[in-house]
């Protein structure tokens, strides 16, 4: 960049020193010989602070007052830090935030506005001109660069000694592989994701319990039209509670049996119009938390997929592709709702090896 | 660096006092005077739109400062703990250490909430200002030779900024961000062949696991910031090498740059502007709450709040997911192909890649090998401006879709109706925007031409002796006219056989693209036309 040494040339000088265009391929660009001529730099207009010493004095005053104000703001913020403690009292958080923030805002804004005002109103106002040079190096520089590469090639034999070169490239390609292998350790060695995704905690006889309390639900608690957020009764004592919960959450709804349009092979999966479906959206896995009692529709609040509970939770709108998996349920001797088995298909979003 | 004789290297002033001695000490060890000579009076042109990139740079500095403070208090672990801090409604709630320490930063550390809010607001501003800066660069053609590579670097910064935003957003391990991660997990799982395993490795086992916050933290405070700093450095090096572009104006040419020197004017203005940007962020953080995680609660896979929204810059991707039609999934070769997710991802990918490579497409169409340092006024590149408007519309529709449920509830319309409308607009919107914008640009060019040739309407109606009424037109000054006529013009290619006498497919494509770009064109006013019209005015 040594060629930039002409920095800050005065406008008048620059106007006279127009240098020749380097002829270049303009492609489809139209270079008109009849173009209107550039009228050159307009005359410099003086600012009010250049013309009126009183205004200049005033601008100077504004700037230093702003800088003083900035210092006041900084000290204020420190004082506010001491004067507005939190000490475990929630309601003091607001004043702590407000008064430290106000001080810091004043400090920053006054400093910034002061500096800009100094630059615009007081500092010399002469626009200057730098000449541009083509970004490419000069022909000599480029020739020398080529020469250097050729010399280096000659002296190292990089081009000549093909075996050394190729084996080097080979070694460099292989050398990151250990790092890739090391990253296998990011996940447990003894687990297979495809296997894990097939199963949830539900098994034969697991009681359906309320989320999050874990209180089991009796069939008689489920009134017509109601919906329950359900977890397996033993979830809260499981090893990885959140991992298990992410797969095992269920929605329980009771419809009029005549409203239910059940698949023949799932005739005995419900109890008295009570049906249980996975709460994990088959789109990208959000909890399908909203139940519309009148229409029997389930809505996922993330991407608005809708599932029709009356029709075995088929997708009726939105980006989801598959129905929510159904949990087969029955009632145990004490009248509690229990699972007949685990889900018969993987729950949640689709994955490559799903089928 | 320097081999100059010692007599020259020593500063001429011997009586420099402390400053002189310190400068001498430094220069004898660093050769710093060379840098001052080189860059001290470097000229930068002035325009408000050039500040957008500065806003991005300064908000990143604010992010680094506030973020460093936060790292001293944040505990990036998913260890189960019971909250016992000052925020009473959460007392005794089970949560991760990450969530608990975020609550502590907010409620038990003085100024902690302020720093959290500064960090979050600065991050939102960072991405927003990068976006606006990119729009400025696009619509003024600042990406043309020699700046194509700098466009790519800047674009990478945009992507990195979004990645920084998303990883940071996920760290507190609250309900909202946890659902965001759930969505990411679902998307990753849909990828053919590798999806299941990438998700498994990323989360250290099954979702959500106990590793993800710590891993995102490594990315968020180390790898991604290092990359952002590296790319910003590259971006600025090229800014220096190329020198800044300037808007066309009298006295400005492709061979010069007109403006103010770094020392002192730019140092004062840009330095001051840093504090103003910081001050605006500070004021926002003082008065406006952002990301109140204590209202959401800790992450739990079961609950979710209605109307969940990602931070604004992720909206376009989330919206695209919502726009996919149902049932786009099938089993083939005994494997699951979930196009309900893959299709939006592919569309997003194509959109991003098109934006990324646009400078190279335009360069290929024009074949223009000249360096361009004078910016285009958007109207003077009608097709580019129209393409930009179409792209902005496409992005805007995806972005609006991320709020489809809120649009429906606020305006009391059906959610299905909103989605169907946006699905249609995704295709129609850009087309409409394209044609409307192009016509507006051409209209403005015609108006410029008219004013350059015949002056502007004064509103003064004069009755001529013959009874005829005319409106008096006043000529604009040479300087004003120059801004109307001094644009660079491109013409469509004439399809001609090459040296072998053949017309290849790529030549045909290029000619077709060139016609598309430049067939409708308003040529700049020429000197002859100008002289002629002035002659007319003397009647």
At A9 the pLDDT is: 47
The two tokens of residue A250 are 């269920």
Whether residues B9 and B116 fall in one domain: no
Distance CA B440, CA A202 (A): 63
Place of tokens 């104000």: A69
Mention every residue, 6+ apart, whose C-beta is less than 8 A from residue A25: B367, B368, B369, B370
Asked if B331 reaches chain A (Cβ–Cβ under 8 Å), the answer is yes
Domain boundary among B316, B335, B359: B316
Asked if B527 reaches chain A (Cβ–Cβ under 8 Å), the answer is yes
Whether residues B296 and B176 fall in one domain: yes
Task: Say yes or no for a CB contact (<8 Å) between A245 and B300.
Answer: yes
Condensed to tens digits (0 to 9), the pLDDT of residues B71-126 reads: 999 999 999 999 999 999 999 999 999 999 999 999 999 999 999 999 999 999 99
At B176 the pLDDT is: 94
Domain boundary among B316, B332, B364: B316
Which of B275, B274, B243 has its CA nearest to residue B258?
Answer: B243
Whether residues B143 and B13 fall in one domain: no
Distance from CA of B241 to the nearest CA of A (A): 7
Find chain B residues with C-beta within 8 A of A283's C-beta.
Answer: 186, 321, 340-341
Asked if B54 reaches chain A (Cβ–Cβ under 8 Å), the answer is no
Domain boundary among B269, B296, B316: B316
At B536 the pLDDT is: 58
Whether residues B8 and B70 fall in one domain: no
Instruction: Answer whether residue B129 is part of any domain.
Output: yes
Distance CA B325, CA B416 (A): 11
At A33 the pLDDT is: 87
Q: If you average pLDDT over residues B452-460, what whole number do you get?
A: 92
Contact B63, B123 (CB under 8 A): yes
3-state SS assignment for residue A125: coil
Instruction: Answer whether residue B418 is part of any domain.
Output: no
What is the distance of C-alpha A113 from the center of its chain? 33
Half-sphere exposure of B405 toward its Cβ, with a 13 Å CA cutoff?
Answer: 18
Instruction: Answer whether residue B141 is part of any domain.
Output: yes
Task: Say yes or no for a CB contact (<8 Å) between A187 and B302.
Answer: no
Instruction: Answer whether residue B376 is part of any domain.
Output: no
At B496 the pLDDT is: 85
DSSP conformation letters of B451-510: HHHH-EEEEEEEE-TTS-EEEEEEPPPHHHHHHHH---EE-PPP----TTS---HHHHHH
- Interface predicted TM-score (ipTM) of this complex, two decimals: 0.92
Q: What is the CATH number of the domain that holds B61?
A: 1.20.810.10
Q: What is the mean pLDDT of chain B?
A: 93
Instruction: Answer whether residue B121 is part of any domain.
Output: yes
Whether residues B117 and B8 fall in one domain: no
Asked if B372 reaches chain A (Cβ–Cβ under 8 Å), the answer is no
The two tokens of residue A303 are 């991407």
Q: Give the residue with greater pLDDT, B3 vs A84.
A: A84
Q: In what order do the strands lie in the sheet with A290-292?
A: A290-292, A297-299, A306-308, A314-317
Per the structure, the complete domain to which residue B11 belongs is given by 4-31
Query: Residue B15: pLDDT band by 50, 70, 90 thresholds?
Result: low
Whether residues B27 and B122 fall in one domain: no
Whether residues B16 and B99 fall in one domain: no
Condensed to tens digits (0 to 9), the pLDDT of residues B125-145 reads: 999 999 999 999 999 999 999
At A174 the pLDDT is: 97
Q: Of A24, A93, A302, which is closest to B308 when you measure between CB atoms? A: A302
Contact A283, A247 (CB under 8 A): no
Whether residues B98 and B26 fall in one domain: no
The two tokens of residue B359 are 């400078």
Whether residues B154 and B64 fall in one domain: yes
The two tokens of residue B317 are 């991707």
Task: Say yes or no for a CB contact (<8 Å) between A112 and B272.
Answer: yes
Instruction: Answer whether residue B375 is part of any domain.
Output: no
Whether residues B12 and B56 fall in one domain: no
Q: How far apart are the first and last CA of chain B?
A: 68
Place of tokens 């009586």: B15
Distance CA A221, CA A234 (A): 20
Condensed to tens digits (0 to 9), the pLDDT of residues B339-376 reads: 999 999 999 999 999 999 999 999 999 999 999 999 99
Mention every residue, 6+ apart, whose C-beta is less than 8 A from residue A227: A251, A252, A253, A291, A293
Query: Residue B498: pLDDT band by 50, 70, 90 thresholds?
Result: confident
Distance CA A42, CA A49 (A): 20
Each residue of B232-271: b (16+ CB within 10 Å) or e?
bebbeebeeebbbbbbbbbbbbebbbbbbbbebbbbbbbe
Task: Say yes or no for a CB contact (<8 Å) between B265 and A124.
Answer: yes
The two tokens of residue B208 are 């959500």
Whether residues B25 and B97 fall in one domain: no
Task: Say yes or no for a CB contact (<8 Å) between A26 and B370.
Answer: yes
Instruction: Answer whether residue B340 is part of any domain.
Output: no
Residues 108-147 of A with CB under 8 A from B: 108-109, 111-120, 123-124, 127-132, 134-135
Name the pTM for this structure. 0.93
Instruction: Answer whether residue B81 is part of any domain.
Output: no
Handedness of CA A131, A132, A134, A140 (dihedral sign): positive
Each residue of A53-78: b (16+ CB within 10 Å) or e?
eeebeebeebbeebbebbeebbebbe
Q: Of B252, B285, B338, which is closest to A321 when you measure between CB atoms? A: B338
At A23 the pLDDT is: 55
Q: If you average pLDDT over residues B381-408, what whole number do you get?
A: 97
Whether residues B9 and B152 fall in one domain: no
Distance CA B258, CA B249 (A): 10
- Per the structure, the count of domains in chain B is 3
**Regions in chain A scoring below 70 on pLDDT:** 1-23
Phi/psi of residue B525, each to 5°?
Answer: -65, 135
Condensed to tens digits (0 to 9), the pLDDT of residues B518-529 reads: 999 999 999 999
Q: Of A186, A245, A349, which is closest to B302 when you measure between CB atoms? A: A245
Distance CA A258, CA B80 (A): 46
Q: Where are the alpha helices (DSSP H) in chain A?
A: 11-16, 48-51, 53-83, 92-117, 139-156, 162-174, 177-182, 193-198, 241-248
């Amino acid at each position: 960049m040594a060629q930039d040494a002409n920095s800050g040339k005065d406008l008048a000088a620059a106007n006279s020193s127009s240098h020749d265009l380097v002829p270049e391929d303009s492609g489809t660009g139209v270079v008109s010989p009849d173009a209107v001529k550039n009228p050159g730099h307009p005359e410099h207009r003086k600012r009010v602070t250049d013309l009126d010493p009183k205004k200049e004095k005033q601008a100077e005053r504004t700037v230093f007052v702003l800088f003083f104000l900035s210092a006041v703001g900084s000290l204020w913020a420190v004082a506010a830090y001491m004067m507005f403690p939190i000490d475990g009292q929630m309601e003091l958080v607001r004043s702590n935030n407000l008064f430290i923030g106000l001080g810091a805002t004043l400090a920053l804004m006054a400093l910034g506005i002061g500096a800009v005002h100094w630059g615009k109103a007081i500092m010399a106002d002469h626009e200057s001109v730098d000449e541009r040079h083509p970004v490419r190096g000069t022909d000599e520089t480029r020739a020398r660069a080529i020469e250097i590469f050729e010399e280096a090639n000659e002296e190292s034999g990089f081009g000549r000694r093909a075996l050394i070169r190729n084996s080097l490239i080979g070694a460099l390609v292989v050398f990151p592989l250990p790092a890739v292998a090391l990253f296998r350790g990011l996940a447990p060695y003894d687990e297979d994701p495809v296997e894990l995704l097939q199963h949830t905690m539900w098994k034969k006889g697991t009681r359906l319990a309320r989320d999050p309390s874990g209180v089991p639900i009796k069939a008689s608690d489920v009134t017509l039209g109601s919906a329950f957020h359900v977890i397996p009764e033993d979830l809260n004592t499981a090893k990885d509670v959140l991992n298990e919960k992410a797969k095992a959450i269920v929605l329980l709804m009771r419809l009029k049996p005549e409203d239910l349009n059940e698949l023949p092979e799932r005739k005995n999966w419900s109890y008295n119009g009570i049906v249980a479906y996975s709460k994990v959206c088959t789109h990208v896995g959000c909890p399908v938390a909203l139940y519309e009692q009148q229409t029997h529709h389930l809505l996922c609040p993330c991407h608005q997929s809708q599932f029709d509970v009356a029709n075995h939770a088929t997708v009726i709108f939105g980006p989801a592709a598959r129905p929510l998996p159904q949990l087969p349920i029955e009632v145990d001797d004490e009248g509690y709702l229990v699972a007949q088995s685990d889900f018969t298909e993987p729950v949640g979003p689709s994955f490559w090896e799903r089928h | 660096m320097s081999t100059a004789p010692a007599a020259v290297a020593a500063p001429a002033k011997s009586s420099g006092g402390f400053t002189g001695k310190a400068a001498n000490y430094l220069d004898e060890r660093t050769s710093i005077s060379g840098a001052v000579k080189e860059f001290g009076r470097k000229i930068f042109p002035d325009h408000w739109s050039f500040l957008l990139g500065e806003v991005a740079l300064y908000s990143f500095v604010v992010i680094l400062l506030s973020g460093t403070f936060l790292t001293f208090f944040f505990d990036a672990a998913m260890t189960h703990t019971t909250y016992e801090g000052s925020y009473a409604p959460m007392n005794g709630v089970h949560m991760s250490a990450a969530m608990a320490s975020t609550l502590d930063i907010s409620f038990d550390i003085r100024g902690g909430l302020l720093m959290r809010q500064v960090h979050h607001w600065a991050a939102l501003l960072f991405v927003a200002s990068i976006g606006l800066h990119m729009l400025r660069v696009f619509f003024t053609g600042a990406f043309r030779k020699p700046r194509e590579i700098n466009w790519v670097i800047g674009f990478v910064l945009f992507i990195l900024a979004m990645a920084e935003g998303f990883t940071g957003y996920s760290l507190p391990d609250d309900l909202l961000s946890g659902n965001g991660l759930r969505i990411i997990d679902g998307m990753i799982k849909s990828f053919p062949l590798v999806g299941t395993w990438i998700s498994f490795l990323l989360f250290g086992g099954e979702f959500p696991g106990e590793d993800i916050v710590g891993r995102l933290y490594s990315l968020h405070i180390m790898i991604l910031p290092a990359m952002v700093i590296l790319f910003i450095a590259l971006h600025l090096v090229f800014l220096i090498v190329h020198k800044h572009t300037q808007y066309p104006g009298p006295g400005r040419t492709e061979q010069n740059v007109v403006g103010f020197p770094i020392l002192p004017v730019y140092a004062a203005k840009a330095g001051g502007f840093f504090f103003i940007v910081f001050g605006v962020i500070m004021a926002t953080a003082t008065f406006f709450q952002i990301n109140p995680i204590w209202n959401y609660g800790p992450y739990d896979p079961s609950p979710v709040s209605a109307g969940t929204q990602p931070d604004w810059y992720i909206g376009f991707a989330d919206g695209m997911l919502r726009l996919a039609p149902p049932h786009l999934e099938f089993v083939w070769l005994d494997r699951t192909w979930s196009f309900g997710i893959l299709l939006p991802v592919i569309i997003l990918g194509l959109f991003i890649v098109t934006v990324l490579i646009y400078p190279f497409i335009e360069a290929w169409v024009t074949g223009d090998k000249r360096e361009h340092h004078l910016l285009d006024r958007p109207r003077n590149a009608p097709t580019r401006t129209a393409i930009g408007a179409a792209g902005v519309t496409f992005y805007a529709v995806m972005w609006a879709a991320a709020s489809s449920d809120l649009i429906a509830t606020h305006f009391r319309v059906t959610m299905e109706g909103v989605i169907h409308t946006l699905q249609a607009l995704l295709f129609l919107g850009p087309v409409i925007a394209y044609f409307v914008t192009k016509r507006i640009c051409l209209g403005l060019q015609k108006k410029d031409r008219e004013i350059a040739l015949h002056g502007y309407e004064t509103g003064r109606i004069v009755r001529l002796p013959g009874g005829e009424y005319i409106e008096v037109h006043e000529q604009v000054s040479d300087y004003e006219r120059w801004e109307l006529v001094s644009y660079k013009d491109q013409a469509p290619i004439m399809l001609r056989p090459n040296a072998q006498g053949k017309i290849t497919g790529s030549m045909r494509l290029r000619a077709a693209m060139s016609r598309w770009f430049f067939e409708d064109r308003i040529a700049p006013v020429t000197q002859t036309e100008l002289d002629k019209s002035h002659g007319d005015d003397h009647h």
